[in-house]
Structures are given as C-alpha cells and as structure tokens.
C-alpha cells in the first residue's frame, strides 16, 4: 500500500509549483480506513470500514484542505454479532449518526511527510485532531496519504465498557488515495 514517501522540500515544490493545484476525489476502491482496538486487555479487535468517500482541494498558493466521510454502519470485523453491537447506541449509533467525518483545515509539509490539522466528528461530537501522515505521488494524477491516528473513544461519547475490558484508545489506519477530480 505504501508508495515512496516524499520529502518535505519535494512536496512543497509540488504544492507551490502548481503541480497539485485543483480538485481531488478519494478513490474508495483503493483507499482503506481500518480500526484496531484492544479488548479484554490483550486481544485486538480489528475491522475495516467498507464505505468511504472524500475530496480535497489544493489552491494555487499550495494550501491543501479536504474531507473524508466514513459510513459508520459499514464497519466489518468479520463477526456479525460484534458488528451489530458496534453499530448500536453503545458505540457508533449509526442509525442516528450515519457518518464519521474528518475535515482537514490544513495539510502542510513537515519533517515526517505532512502535518494534518482538522476536526473529527463521531456520534455528532466534534474534536480537533492533528496527526502526521506520509505523502506519496506515485504517478501523475494520484496522491496517497498514509497515517496511523490514535483516538480516545470517550471524547466522542463512546464510553460503553463492560468490566473495564475494552481499551479507551482506538487506532485508525488510513490509506487515502486521491485522484484528479
């Protein structure tokens, strides 16, 4: 999944030089958002969200912004009973809050690749979120962003935890492939 990461100066040249200027659309077939959380202290629960969409814009001055949308009900851990519980009001409450969204207000080159700053909304609660990502431009008309993001569930009202056996920290692994819009 990972292409060659770009150095900050190389990415800055592409942003400022106009090579990446324009509208970008998330390619859902080649993108993935995975969830991992520990349960019962040591056993990780792993899943993938099957429905993702998004878009981004790079302005002529090199400013990059974008949005990712995830259908909360599309979680797939390969366990039907667990998936039903994750969709319930105990977790994502997907009937009342069908989308998980991340809006990136600023994406800029950094020593690690790119620094992403924005807001994550889960269950109708929005929290600021910043993280580092790797950026790749594997070919003309395609940009990849790869990141691991740690999220504290309670920040979004997800506090269900029978006997304290579910970790409050979840890790989202994002592989976002954008193509020219």
Residue 170 forms part of a structural domain:
yes
Residue 52 forms part of a structural domain:
yes
Confidence (pLDDT) at 8: 65
**pLDDT single digits (tens) 122-162:** 999 999 999 999 988 887 789 999 999 999 988 998 887 75
Residue 36 forms part of a structural domain:
yes
Q: In Å, what is the CA distance from 93 to each residue of 34, 81, 98, 124, 157?
A: 18, 15, 8, 10, 10
Q: Is the pLDDT of residue 7 over 60?
A: yes
Residue 3 forms part of a structural domain:
no
How many Å apart are CA 151 and CA 132, to the nearest integer? 14
Residue 16 forms part of a structural domain:
yes
Measured distance between the N- and C-terminal CA atoms of the chain, rounded to whole angstroms: 22
Span 75-82, mean pLDDT? Answer: 95
Report how many domains make up the chain: 1
Q: Is the pLDDT of residue 166 over 70?
A: no
Q: Is the pLDDT of residue 26 over 80?
A: yes
**pLDDT single digits (tens) 32-52:** 999 998 765 567 889 999 999
| Structural tokens at position 165 | 């056996």
Please indicate, yes or no, whether the overall pTM of this predicted structure exceeds 0.75. yes
Q: Which residues contact 132 (CB under 8 A, 6 or more apart)?
A: 110, 112, 113, 114, 115, 116, 147
């Amino acid at each position: 999944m990972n292409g060659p990461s770009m150095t900050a100066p190389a990415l800055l040249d592409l942003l400022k030089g106009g090579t990446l200027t324009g509208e970008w659309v998330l390619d859902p077939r080649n993108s993935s958002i995975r969830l991992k959380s520990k349960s019962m202290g040591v056993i990780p629960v792993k899943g993938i969200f099957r429905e993702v969409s998004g878009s981004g814009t790079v302005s002529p001055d090199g400013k990059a912004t974008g949005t990712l949308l995830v259908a909360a009900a599309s979680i797939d851990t390969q366990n039907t009973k667990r998936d039903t519980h994750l969709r319930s009001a105990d977790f994502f409450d997907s009937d009342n809050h069908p989308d998980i969204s991340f809006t990136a207000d600023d994406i800029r080159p950094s020593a690690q690749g790119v620094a992403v700053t924005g807001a994550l909304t889960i269950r109708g609660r929005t929290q600021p979120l910043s993280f580092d990502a790797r950026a790749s431009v594997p070919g003309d008309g395609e940009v990849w962003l790869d990141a691991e993001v740690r999220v504290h569930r309670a920040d979004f009202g997800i506090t269900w935890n029978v006997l304290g056996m579910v970790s409050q920290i979840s890790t989202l692994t994002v592989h976002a492939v954008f193509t020219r819009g």
